Amino acid sequence: MAPKSKPLKSSPNKDTKKPISHPDSHLTPEAFTRDLQSLAAKARTQTTSAHLLTQLKIYLSSFTLLSLAALTSIASQLALSPTYGSIPSLQWHNQLVAAACFVGWSGNLFLGRALPFKPIFLLPVLSAWVVPGQWFLTRKSELLGGVWGPVVTELLTIFPVIALSAACVATYLDGADLGWLPSWVRDAAPGLGSYGVFKGVEGVGREVLGRYAGRTVVNTRVGMEMVLGVGYALLAPSKLLALAVPALVHTAVWNTHVPTRGALERLNGTLGEQGWVVLDRRESITGYVSVIESKEDGFRLMRCDHSLLGGEWVKFIGHPQFQGNQVAEPVYGVFAMLEAVRLVKMPKKIVDKEAKALVIGLGVGTTPGALVAHGIDTTVVEIDPAVHEFASKYFQLPKNHTAVIEDAVSYTDRLADATANGQFDYVIHDVFTGGAEPIALFTLEFLQNLHALLKPGGVVAINYAGDFALPPPMVVVQTIRQVFPSCRIFREHPRDEDMVKKHGSDFANMVIFCTKIADRELSFRQPNARDLLNSPSREVFLMPKHEVTDEDFTVGRDDGILTKNDTAKLSKWHGKSALGHWKVMRTVLPPNVWENW
């Protein structure tokens, strides 16, 4: 007999009053719709983030490549300047870089198909070989010449690097989302934007390197190029990096341009065979500065890039005839000629012990050294600290002078504003030209500053090196005459007619002597024994001899004067003038001295 079923007791738990959910309740249309909307929102969020990250990577990679390529451009020109000079190195540089960018940009698809690996993996290898490539090709500079040498060297070294960088950037930017731009600029934006970034980085980089050149290994020519190679390697590491190892070994073992003591010893081992030695070298704000000495002929020079700042005969040091001399024997007569400011006849005699002189541009210190020897209170304005350091350490620059390490334009601007009636009895303007004069120091405005700083009874002497067959010397002279009413001009050496007929150029150093007195013709007194300072060089060169007349300036009369707002009339001739100077320098010192810097 079945037991009777008992009625269920009601549970005191309130939850039992809730309805029991059906096991398939989440499959209701409303729940399904909510799930789909949640998944869609999550997908949209993830897709947007991934898209933004992808775009960020594209732009960062492109910017990095463009920056490395721009710095490669700067480093290359700096590396060529000791062999060719800054102006010849730059003459075709920008056109070659632009051509490399065009070739790479337009050929990115071809490279991607032609190479069995990603083109970017080749960049570190090409960059590493730039340094040994330039090391080898600059040793052929005498064969290649001042015009084609820089072009051939960069065509075989940095052209492939910049072209391949541009190709990789073009490939990256093919994936860029430019939908936010107006349709009419989308096609041109990647190319124009990339070139704008390249030139912007190049401009900023040139300014920064110019300001901090030589302070660290990274700021040197070879050091910078090696760091750029590392940068490319970090951006695109691959097994191909093994191909860069021989280049690194060559740079470490054989490259004499590396700023290390061992490289300098190797350099002197090479130069010593020809009787030369590099006593010291420094990469600085005006270029590659070094002190070189001829052991055979007994003279010492200071060079800056592919030019010379001056020199002294060291074989006379200690010679009985010159015992106790206060001055050195200059190698080049023009520096002794500048001292003739003391010989200019003035209405009121200038007493040496009471006189003050301002020298713009130090060189090796020949002229300021002589002024100090005469007891004149001498202030020297020199922009490059390395030049002042080397002149003090390796040449006979006296310590009792006032050194101002500053740009002469800013210094004279500041001093002229605070000067009522002149501060200096003598002003010597002797800045490095090297075929490309620092234009700001020959403008009307700068010369007006010198006029303000010169006392009414004072004398100014301006040294200018240029080609008389080109307009710049006449433009400079006309500008000087606009400020100083009474002037006479003298060359270091007489005109070489055979050289003019053969080469069509007449490159020479000239000194322009001027006073502020308008109605008085400038003349010189004969030097006495005290003026000559027991110096055979001054016996020959102190008194100016080879006067220049207006008829000697065959061109440039119609070009007017030079102002700071119209410098093109000089800068446009820089290339030709600098090339002429390059050729002259190759006759002054043998090619191997210039090439093995």
Count how many residues are written for the chain: 597
Backbone phi, psi, residue 489, to 5°: -125, 140
Q: CA-to-CA distance for 380 and 360, rounded, in angstroms? A: 6
As a CATH number, domain 52-255 is 1.20.1250
Give pLDDT, residue 36: 64
Give the phi and the psi of residue 311 in degrees, each rounded to 5: -165, 165
Rg, the chain, Cα only: 35
pLDDT given at position 3: 45
Kindly state the tokens that stand for 348.
């009121």
- Are the beta carbons of 464 and 518 closer than 8 angstroms? no
49 pLDDT tier (thresholds 50, 70, 90): confident
Longest dimension (CA), the chain: 158
DSSP string, 492-504: SS---HHHHHHHS
- For residues 526-535, give the mean pLDDT: 95
Angle at 349 between CA 344 and CA 352, to 5 degrees: 90
Structure token digits, residue 377: 């209170």
Q: Is the pLDDT of residue 1 over 90?
A: no
| pLDDT tens string 185-225 | 888 899 999 999 999 999 999 988 878 888 888 889 999 99
Q: Cβ atoms within 10 A of the Cβ of 166, count?
A: 27
- pLDDT tens sequence across 458-495: 999 999 988 899 999 999 999 999 999 999 999 998 98
Q: What is the CATH code for 332-592?
A: 3.40.50.150
The pLDDT, as a whole number, for residue 571 is 86
Does residue 26 surpass a pLDDT of 80? no
Tell me what pLDDT residue 5 has.
44
What is the pLDDT at residue 321? 83
pLDDT of residue 66 exceeding 90, the answer is yes
Structure tokens at 99: 């051509």
Compute the Cα dihedral for 226, 228, 232, 235 and give only its sign.
positive
Is 59's pLDDT higher than 60?
yes
Comparing 10-14, 148-152, 369-373, the range with the smallest average pLDDT is: 10-14
Extents of the domains making up the chain = 52-255, 332-592
SS3 string, 314-357, reads: CCCCCCHHHCCCCCCEECCHHHHHHHHHHHECCCCCCCHHHCEE
Write out pLDDT tens, residues 71-80: 999 999 999 9
The tokens of 366 are what?
A: 């020949």
Residue percentage of the chain with pLDDT more than 70? 92
Q: What is the pLDDT of residue 2?
A: 44
Quick one: which of 447, 458, 450 has its CA closest to 481?
A: 447
Query: Mind listing the pLDDT tens digit for each residue in 553-580?
Result: 889 889 999 999 998 888 888 888 888 8
| 245: number of Cβ within 10 Å | 11
Rounded Cα distance between 161 and 97, Å, is 10
Mean pLDDT computed over 418-444: 86
Distance separating alpha carbons of residues 378 and 386, to the nearest angstrom: 20
Residues 276, 277, 283, 285, Cα dihedral to 10°: -60
| pLDDT for residue 39 is more than 80 | no
In this prediction, residue 46 has a pLDDT band, given cuts at 50, 70 and 90, of low
- For residue 398, which of 408, 407, 388 has the smallest C-alpha distance? 388
What is the residue-averaged pLDDT of the chain?
Answer: 90
> Looking at residue 542, what DSSP letter applies?
S
The answer on pLDDT for 583 being more than 70 is yes
Burial code of 532-559, b = ≥16 C-beta within 10 A, e = fewer?
A: bbbbebbeebbbbeeebeeebbeebeeb
For the segment 499-504, the average pLDDT, to the nearest whole number, is 80
CA atoms of 527 and 225, how far apart (whole Å): 53
Confidence at 314, pLDDT banded by 50, 70, 90: very high
Element (H, E) at 464: strand 454-467
Give the count of beta carbons closer than 10 Å to the beta carbon of residue 11.
9
- Which residues, 6 or more positions from 576, have their beta carbon under 8 angstroms from its beta carbon? 467, 470
Min mean pLDDT across 289-303, 405-419, 563-577 is at 563-577
Instruction: Please state the pTM of the whole predicted model.
Output: 0.87
Contact (Cβ atoms closer than 8 angstroms) between residue 119 and residue 164: yes
Which is nearest to 194 in space by CA: 95, 61, 62? 62
The SS3 assignment for 300 reads strand
Residue 424 phi, psi dihedral angles, 5° rounding = -120, 140
3-class SS at 278?
strand
